[in-house]
Structures are given as structure tokens and as C-alpha cells.
Amino acid sequence: MINVKNLCYTYGDGTTALHNINVKFPETHIFAIMGLSGSGKTTLLNCMARFLVPQKGTITLSGNDIYEMPEKEFRSQLGVVFQKLNLFPHMTVLENLCLAPEKVQKRSHKEVHTSALAMLDRLNIEDLSDSYPSQMSGGQAQRVAIARGLMLKPKVMLLDEPTSALDARTTEDFSLWLKELKLDTAFIIVTHDLAFAEKIAPKGMYMSDGKILSYGNIEEVLQHIHTS
């Protein structure tokens, strides 16, 4: 799916965020990238999402160099949901879901509208179709943001700290909901929440100071963290 080779990234102030990262993300449907703030995990996500261009190394998606892929093709295969969600505040939930499929993929309004309503119904948030982002809870907005990403039918979705604004009860509900979606697309989740990672992801890795300290089955990675 996504293969990262010899990836290095240094910010303009001279801070090196990624030190020669090598990782091949497995075909598993949920994978966790863990680490504390400043570990490099979000920088890695931004490189995979093509929002940052590394000074060294390559990233391929299904064998294709992501930086050589046409923008439309790349965005249709990889979706991103950021910590701030970035829902359009002046649009309803339904309008947020329909915008990209209509404008980017040039799908018909009727087909997209029908698909969006079906998506909201499946995710049990159909009652929010006419609501605006400011009228929703953190958990509801998180679901809407992921639903919007899924409308493009990507092969993989990157989620940046998806539980940061959720309480314990909502995080539990979100975990169960995410597991239901893994049959549709693969998720790579950046998180500092180890308990959430253990519950949701069969495999993962732990980063520190721009390096991968541990990689593999989630139980083994967490054991390595606790004993190091």
C-alpha cells in the first residue's frame, strides 16, 4: 500500500523531524503511528499526505511515487482527516459531503446526493444532514469529517489524533464505529493515545525524536514502550 524509504525532513529553522524513516505499511486495515508530541509522527503524516516535500527519500502508494501522481488521482486514493477536521462552517453536513465528489470527481449531483444520504444513514448520523458544524458535538463532527473523506472512496485514510477532542465514552463509541468502517478502506492513525491504539489497531509503530523505535504487532510495540 504505502512504502516509505529513507525519508528525511528538516524544517526551515534547522529542526530535523524525520531521520531516515523506512517503513512499509502492511495491508492491515487499521495501523497506528504512536508517539509523544514532537516525535515526528504528524510530520510523517503530512509527508504521506503530500502537504510536505521531504528533502530525501521516497513514498510510494500502490507502487507509484506519490509526488509524481496527478493531484486528482492521488487525492482520490488517499484521504486525510486532520485534528481540526476542517469542515466548511458555512455548509451543512450534506453540503460538506457532496462538495468534493461533485467538484473534483465530476460526479452528478443526484448520484452524489444519494450516496451522501446513504453514507450518513450507515453511520447513524442521518439526522445531522441539515446541521452546520457549529451545531455538532466533537464526536459528531469527527464522524462527519471521516464520512466526507469516505465519499471519495479512497484506498487509505490518514487520521491525525482522531480522539483528541473526545471524552472517554465518545472515544469508546468511536473505536467501535471505526472498526465497522475498516472493511471499506484502510486507516493509518496518528495518535498519542496508547489505550485507543491498543483497542483499535492490530499493528503499529512507535516514534521518538524522528525515528521508529518499535514496529510490529500492537501488543509487542506497547510492551517495548513500557519496558524501555
CATH at residue 165: 3.40.50.300
- Looking at the predicted structure, is the pLDDT value of residue 84 above 80? no
Q: Hey, which bits of the chain come out as E strands?
A: 2-10, 16-24, 30-35, 56-61, 64-65, 78-81, 156-160, 186-191, 203-208, 211-217
DSSP 48-113: HTTSS--SEEEEEETTEEGGGS-HHHHHHHEEEE-TT----TTS-HHHHHHHHHHHTS---HHHHH
pTM (2 d.p.): 0.85
Q: Which of 8-17, 47-56, 117-126 has the lowest mean pLDDT?
A: 117-126
Specify if 103 maps to a domain.
no
Mean pLDDT of the chain: 89
- Looking at the predicted structure, is the pLDDT value of residue 122 above 80? no
Tens digits of residue pLDDT in 42-51: 999 999 999 9
pLDDT at 113: 92
pLDDT at 4: 97
- Domain range for 27 is 2-88+154-227
Distances (CA, A) of 169 to 138, 154, 157, 198, 199: 12, 28, 24, 16, 14
- Looking at the predicted structure, is the pLDDT value of residue 67 above 80? yes
Band of the pLDDT at 86, cuts 50, 70, 90? confident
pLDDT at 182: 75
Specify if 24 maps to a domain.
yes
Specify if 186 maps to a domain.
yes
Specify if 211 maps to a domain.
yes
Specify if 34 maps to a domain.
yes
Specify if 66 maps to a domain.
yes
- Looking at the predicted structure, is the pLDDT value of residue 143 above 90? no
Q: What is the total count of domains within the chain?
A: 1
Tens digits of residue pLDDT in 92-114: 999 999 988 888 778 888 999 99
Specify if 19 maps to a domain.
yes
Residue of 177, 204, 165, 193 lying closest to 85 (CA atoms):
165
Specify if 126 maps to a domain.
no
| DSSP character at residue 136 | S
Give Cα 95 to chain centroid, integer Å.
Answer: 21
Contacts of 93 (CB under 8 A, 6+ apart): 120, 125, 128, 129, 130, 131, 132, 133, 136, 144
